[in-house]
Amino acid sequence: VRANLRRSGLFVPLDPATLPIRVGDVQNEPDFAAWRAATVDALVMGSVDRGAEVSSQVRVWDTQASAQVVGKSYRTDAQNYRRIAHIVSDAIYASLSGGTGYFDTRIVYVAESGPKANRVKRLAIMDQDGANVQYLTSGKSLTLGPKISPRGDSLVFTSYDDGTPQVYFAGLGGASRKLINGAPMSFAPQFSPDGGTVVFSVSNGGTTNIYSAAANGGQPTQLTSGAAIDTSPCYSPDGSRIVFESDRGGNPQIYIMGAGGGNAQRISYGEGLYSTPVWAPTGDLIAYTRQSGGQFHIGVMKPDGSGERILSSSGQVQEGPTWAPNGRVIAFSRDPGGDAGPGLWTVDIWGRNEQNIKTESFASDPSWSPLRG
């Protein structure tokens, strides 16, 4: 819990050994005046009993208002104790920040291992803090760009299983199947907000257009046409629009069109090349990758293209932003090049608190899950 809150950048947890006042029993109300005098804004009190099961209680007190803002208890089997800690962290975050927490979530990504010239790439999933890694594919076939569904129970991704890039659908830990048949190349998939549709790109004869298809298969629908390269589509949270990358104006920029295609409007007008746009789950921002001035930037803008701001800049390749479900933190990958491999980083929407997520192996192409049920 302490690590989660500190990593969010919104809290400064005090070391228990340095607390100026004895916390006391979780069942008792704290001495609010004493905590206020010690300039402590909030107090978390809890208890944990460990056995075959783990049971815990947590109470969060707003010392300024002299009021309890959280009072909950949890019980689970012993192996899931970390989930209780994440759920408790979310309760604390929500009660004190006014937003929704994001700690009881997972990240799907591409785990990379081996020498750069012959690197094995497997799909993997882990807790948002890098713990509890599970590998979902063997690495026998190159896999890229996984996206987790809005319910967190399935994936779409690009695989070279038959020698060319094709979009596949799979339940978490289950068998995969090709989303559509007959496409020369398909890639860059993304789920619709209800999880029932997948939008993706198909490349054929030098052109690349955007299509949609039901997640359970079926005949695809073409959404864009022409000689441009249209790719990296992503639905708005209400499912009414799609943001995507296109070079129809001469170089890669960001466009928005209706979910049924047509009437695409360019929204990116800054210096450089824009790519990998992804809509925030809150609907108010679009994150993207931008190349300009010899640097790679992760930035955000409003859906009308206004309010652009850069959150992270590096001379190293960084790309592929993905949103935490509360729409206030972004994960992305950064690759220093050479013999070193990529890693995952997070930054908040104010461009502060940039941090590396510690992973077992090199890691790229993150996709952040919804809050777990």
Q: Mean pLDDT across the stretch 169-194? A: 94
Which CATH class for the 2-97 domain? Answer: alpha beta
pLDDT at 190 over 90: yes
Give the pLDDT of residue 15.
85
Looking at per-residue pLDDT, the higher value among 18 and 61 belongs to 61
Measuring CA to CA, how many Å separate 38 from each of 22, 27, 31, 49, 58?
12, 22, 11, 30, 22
Give the pLDDT of residue 220.
96
Helix, strand, coil percentages in the chain from 3-state DSSP, rounded to 5? 10, 45, 45
Is there a contact between 194 and 160 (Cβ–Cβ < 8 Å)? Answer: no
pLDDT at 20 over 80: no
Give the pLDDT of residue 78.
85
Tens-place pLDDT, residues 282-330:
999 999 999 999 999 999 999 999 999 999 999 999 999 999 999 999 9
Tell me the backbone φ, ψ of residue 178, rounded to 5 degrees: -70, 135
Looking at per-residue pLDDT, the higher value among 160 and 19 belongs to 160
- Going by pLDDT thresholds of 50, 70 and 90, the confidence category of residue 115 is confident
Tens-place pLDDT, residues 60-98:
999 999 999 999 999 888 888 899 999 999 999 999 998
Domain ranges for the chain: 2-97, 106-368
Topology of the domain covering 106-368: Neuraminidase (2.120.10)
Lowest-confidence range among 14-28, 79-93, 98-112, 331-345? Answer: 14-28
End-to-end CA distance of the chain: give it in Å, rounded.
19
Cβ within 8 Å of residue 306, ≥6 positions away: none
Tens-place pLDDT, residues 22-69:
777 888 899 999 899 988 999 999 889 988 898 899 999 999 999 999
Q: Which two tokens stand for residue 179?
A: 């989303």
